[in-house]
Amino acid sequence: MTDFSTIYKLSLVAVTCLIQACSSSCPVLECWFVQEKAGRGGGLTAATTQEKSLLHVRTDPNRAESRHTPSDISPDRVYFVTDPAATLCHRSLNPPKGSIKKPQCEINPFLPQISSLKWVTPLTDSAFSPVYLQADWYSAALQGLNKQMGVSTIMRAPTASKENNVVLSVTSKTVLVKARLGKPVLLDCGFWVDPSSPLAGMGFAVEWRYQFRGEGRLVLAYDGKTDRLADTQEEGAMLDFEGLHTKGNASLILQEAKVRHSGTYICTVYLPFLLAQTAMELDIVEPPSLSIHPSPLPLAVPGQTLVVQCEASGFAPLSLELSWEFKGADGKTRPLETSSVTGHRQAWDGTFGQTARLELDVSKMDLGTGGELTCVAVHPGGTRRASTTLSVIGFSTPTIEDSMAMVGVALVLYGLIKFVSWTFTSSGSDQADKPDKKEK
């Protein structure tokens, strides 16, 4: 926990410096104002409308801002926002002029209300609604360029005014996280509360939820007012409570990443009558381990069909491409056609396995005297390879060295045959001469 706390503090200092550096040029944010029309009769669902809008951001309420409004935006949808924390002045929300890419921004009307969640109800035990709530409230959700940052803010404006003040902001610098299996994971979430707001001293609550393919669960919930964790805390999930109370660090720490952790995580911060939340994606990415069977490969002969299997195991997510390559004695590599690939198998830890089968027809595939056979696995976690040696015996086409050796052997054999033939011929002549000598 100490390491994560130190990392968070250093990143907080860096972000603060960057924010201060660009606070002198806070952006004019182009947003969509989305709201529901009044419902029609018969209990039909209200229709949704969206209009172009502008947010003129500043850190000092006394600083004058340009009041120019483009012709395609209604003056009623131009808002002037004071953000003392300069969260909305982050560089990812302020692209260079003329840039095609724009940060995503959506504004909605917001209605302060009491929450029924047991870790939030202590914030409004008195059920007293302060006069402070009698105003115009808006929520804004933003995502910076290249998913550098996610921001959610709650803004308050006096009734019928366009001068908004940020009361609560929740941010994340880990909009998209990729983690290896078994490693610790930090999901960043920080919040800021306007110290001048009457709600600032009434406590807070933090909630983390998980969603994946329509299903969800509560990961962790903490009541900062009574300093209590909800009973539904998930094993291996924790907060830095010291940083939570002193720095607004509501980051979630997963001590050991597992396949079931892949999905969407939502960090929600509650104040009395208010809430803001930001979402982030966590992908557990583990590349496969490869093994070739049989190992080592038996000697292959022409006319034989050799069956080889490549087993990929322990990978996540499912996406995987298996293929074969052969590198001959000439050093050239060429692909081989895979005979078949099995379906996915799931292990006890949630990882997956798959097997590729290769049939080697030694006579038809022109494998020469053999070479290196390689199984290649392409996965989002990286490309993996496993190799083994293939040896072919009884190959019919001789090399130049073999031909020269055969010629040499033939010459030697020829010489021996001539010598033996001459020897026997001479011996036979001597034996024939002996009877002639006796007769004489």
Same domain assignment for residues 386 and 307: yes
Q: Which of 226, 261, 284 is the last residue of a domain?
A: 284
Lowest-pLDDT range of 51-55, 328-332, 348-352: 328-332
Same domain assignment for residues 271 and 132: yes
What backbone torsions phi and psi does residue 59 show, to the nearest 5 degrees?
-100, -20
pLDDT digit string (tens) for 244-272?
999 999 999 999 999 999 999 999 999 99
Same domain assignment for residues 248 and 357: no
The confidence score (pLDDT) of residue 306 equals 87
The gap from C-alpha 272 to its chain's centroid, in whole angstroms, comes to 35
Same domain assignment for residues 70 and 216: yes
Task: Tell me, yes or no, whether 303 lies in a domain.
Answer: yes
Residue 391 has pLDDT above 90, yes or no: no
Residue 428 has pLDDT above 80, yes or no: no
Question: Is residue 172 within 8 Å of 187, Cβ to Cβ?
Answer: yes
User: Which domain range does residue 349 map to?
Assistant: 289-391
- Element holding 364 (H helix, E strand): none
pLDDT digit string (tens) for 96-129?
877 888 899 999 999 999 999 999 999 987 756 7
Where residue 274 falls (left for φ over 0; alpha for ψ -120 to 50; beta otherwise) is beta
pLDDT digit string (tens) for 59-88?
987 776 666 778 888 888 999 999 999 999
Residue 234 has pLDDT above 90, yes or no: no
Mean pLDDT of 193-205: 93
CA atoms within 13 A on the CB side of 41: 0
Residue 322 has pLDDT above 60, yes or no: yes
Question: Which residue, 309, 254, 311, 318, is CA-closest to 285?
Answer: 318
In CATH, what number is assigned to the domain containing residue 173?
2.60.40.10
Task: Tell me, yes or no, whether 227 lies in a domain.
Answer: yes
Sign of CA dihedral 295, 300, 304, 310: positive
- Element holding 140 (H helix, E strand): strand 136-143
Same domain assignment for residues 76 and 119: yes
Cα separation, 81 vs 166, whole angstroms: 7
Where residue 363 falls (left for φ over 0; alpha for ψ -120 to 50; beta otherwise) is alpha
The confidence score (pLDDT) of residue 143 equals 94
Q: Which of 253, 284, 315 is the last residue of a domain?
A: 284
Lowest-pLDDT range of 152-156, 385-389, 400-404: 400-404
Residue 323 has pLDDT above 70, yes or no: yes
Q: How confident is the model at residue 324 (pLDDT cuts 50, 70, 90)?
A: very high
Same domain assignment for residues 303 and 279: no
The confidence score (pLDDT) of residue 337 equals 86
The confidence score (pLDDT) of residue 195 equals 94
Cα separation, 436 vs 440, whole angstroms: 6
The confidence score (pLDDT) of residue 23 equals 40
Same domain assignment for residues 267 and 323: no
Lowest-pLDDT range of 307-311, 315-319, 426-430: 426-430
Same domain assignment for residues 238 and 313: no
Task: Tell me, yes or no, whether 396 lies in a domain.
Answer: no
Q: How confident is the model at residue 39 (pLDDT cuts 50, 70, 90)?
A: low
Residue 40 has pLDDT above 90, yes or no: no
Residue 242 has pLDDT above 50, yes or no: yes
The mean pLDDT of the chain is: 84
The larger pLDDT score, comparing residue 95 to residue 190, is at: 190
C-alpha distances in Å from residue 29, one per residue of 73, 77, 434: 13, 12, 127
Task: Tell me, yes or no, whether 6 lies in a domain.
Answer: no
pTM: 0.78
Question: Which residue, 317, 287, 316, 308, is CA-closest to 355?
Answer: 308
The confidence score (pLDDT) of residue 173 equals 95
DSSP state of 300: B
Residue 212 has pLDDT above 70, yes or no: yes
Number of domains in the chain: 2
Question: Which residue, 49, 96, 98, is CA-closest to 77?
Answer: 49
Residue 304 has pLDDT above 90, yes or no: no
Lowest-pLDDT range of 174-183, 226-235, 277-286, 416-425: 416-425
The larger pLDDT score, comparing residue 333 to residue 130, is at: 333
The confidence score (pLDDT) of residue 424 equals 66
The confidence score (pLDDT) of residue 45 equals 60
The confidence score (pLDDT) of residue 218 equals 94
The confidence score (pLDDT) of residue 176 equals 95
Task: Tell me, yes or no, whether 275 lies in a domain.
Answer: yes
Task: Tell me, yes or no, whether 411 lies in a domain.
Answer: no
Whose tokens are 């036979």? That residue is 428
Mean pLDDT of 392-413: 65
Q: Which of 391, 410, 427 is the last residue of a domain?
A: 391
Task: Tell me, yes or no, whether 224 lies in a domain.
Answer: yes
Same domain assignment for residues 104 and 221: yes
Lowest-pLDDT range of 15-19, 278-282, 283-287: 15-19
The larger pLDDT score, comparing residue 370 to residue 290, is at: 290
Same domain assignment for residues 144 and 54: yes
The larger pLDDT score, comparing residue 429 to residue 91, is at: 91
Lowest-pLDDT range of 162-166, 226-230, 296-300: 296-300
Residue 379 has pLDDT above 70, yes or no: yes
Same domain assignment for residues 154 and 259: yes
Same domain assignment for residues 201 and 293: no
Task: Tell me, yes or no, whether 191 lies in a domain.
Answer: yes
